[in-house]
């Protein structure tokens, strides 16, 4: 009755919208680790009711981006070197499993999808930053999603997001040293298109370990 001023219906439910926006703010560090998340404050920020905010925070709790403290409300999940290293370990383990399964199921439509995602990612790397993050994730998930293992993909996606957060925190989001990430991605793609599981996983894991070491070195003890 009141709103609907949006020129385009972009979000279905208020809850989902709040979820997406809060998630974004936590991933980018706009809401820093450990910060108390007061309902009223967020209600103002997102201008919506308390119920959608609460529900969004509940969902984020299960993504491990928000912690619920007894009866004392919510806070953005804290970070630590320990936590970062666990994320890296699990990603290497789970993504290897997923990538091998993906390659085992390889077919032409998957290869097409991969090539497309890779192309879009390259194109986006010339443009805006946030845009690139989305395309980067889409490429990495496309590598894995032919495994047809939804639980595994969900975990990979969650861990990817948790990791992204450390990138933003360590470097304001952009430093993300352009190293030779482009070449690394190309190697992974080529190996995947060749159905060479060993080479693809080796390159993928090297890719993670390398950025992992870089970020780890940036972190205080």
* Residues that bind DNA in the complex, under the rule CB under 7 A: 1, 13-15, 36-40, 48-52, 54-55, 68, 70-74
Q: Which two tokens stand for residue 113?
A: 């999808």
- Angle between helix axes 181-193 and 108-126 (nearest 10 degrees) is 170
Q: How many CB atoms lie within 10 A of CB 102?
A: 24
Q: Judged by CB under 8 A, does residue 59 bind a second copy? A: yes
Nearer to DNA, 14 or 103 (CB): 14
Minimum Å distance from CB 39 to DNA?
4
Contact between 160 and 136 under an 8 Å Cβ cutoff? The reply is no
User: Which phi and psi angles does 67 have, rounded to 5°?
Assistant: -110, 140
Strand partners, 74: 37, 68
Q: Judged by CB under 8 A, does residue 104 bind a second copy? A: no
Minimum Å distance from CB 79 to DNA?
21
| Partner interacting with residue 72 (select from DNA, a second copy, none; CB below 5-8 Å by kind) | DNA
Closest residue by Cα to residue 43 from 15, 4, 76: 15
Nearer to a second copy, 49 or 172 (CB): 49
Q: Judged by CB under 8 A, does residue 34 bind a second copy? A: no
| Partner interacting with residue 78 (select from a second copy, DNA, none; CB below 5-8 Å by kind) | none
Q: Half-sphere exposure of residue 156, counting CA atoms within 13 Å on the CB side?
A: 25
Which positions lie near a second copy, rule CB under 8 A? 12-13, 51, 54-55, 58-59, 61-64, 70-71, 83, 86-87, 89-90, 93-94, 97, 149-152, 154-155, 159
């Amino acid at each position: 009755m009141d709103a609907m001023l949006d020129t385009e219906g972009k979000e279905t439910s208020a809850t989902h919208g709040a979820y997406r926006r809060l998630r974004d703010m936590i991933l980018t560090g706009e809401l820093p680790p450990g910060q108390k998340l007061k309902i009223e404050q967020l209600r103002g920020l997102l201008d919506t009711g308390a119920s959608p905010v609460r529900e969004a925070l509940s969902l984020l709790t299960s993504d491990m981006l928000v912690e619920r403290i007894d009866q004392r409300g919510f806070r953005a999940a804290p970070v630590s070197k320990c936590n970062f290293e666990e994320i890296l370990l699990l990603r290497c383990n789970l993504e290897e499993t997923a990538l091998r399964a993906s390659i085992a199921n390889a077919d032409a439509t998957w290869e097409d999808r991969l090539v497309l995602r890779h192309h879009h990612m390259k194109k986006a790397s010339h443009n805006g930053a946030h845009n690139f993050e989305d395309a980067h994730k889409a490429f990495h998930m496309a590598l894995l999603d032919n495994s047809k293992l939804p639980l595994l993909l969900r975990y990979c996606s969650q861990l990817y997001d948790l990791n992204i957060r450390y990138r933003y925190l360590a470097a304001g989001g952009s430093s993300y040293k352009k190293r030779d990430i482009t070449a690394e991605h190309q190697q992974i793609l080529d190996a995947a298109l060749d159905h060479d599981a060993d080479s693809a996983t080796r390159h993928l894991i090297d890719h993670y370990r390398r950025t992992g070491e870089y970020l780890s070195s940036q972190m205080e003890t």
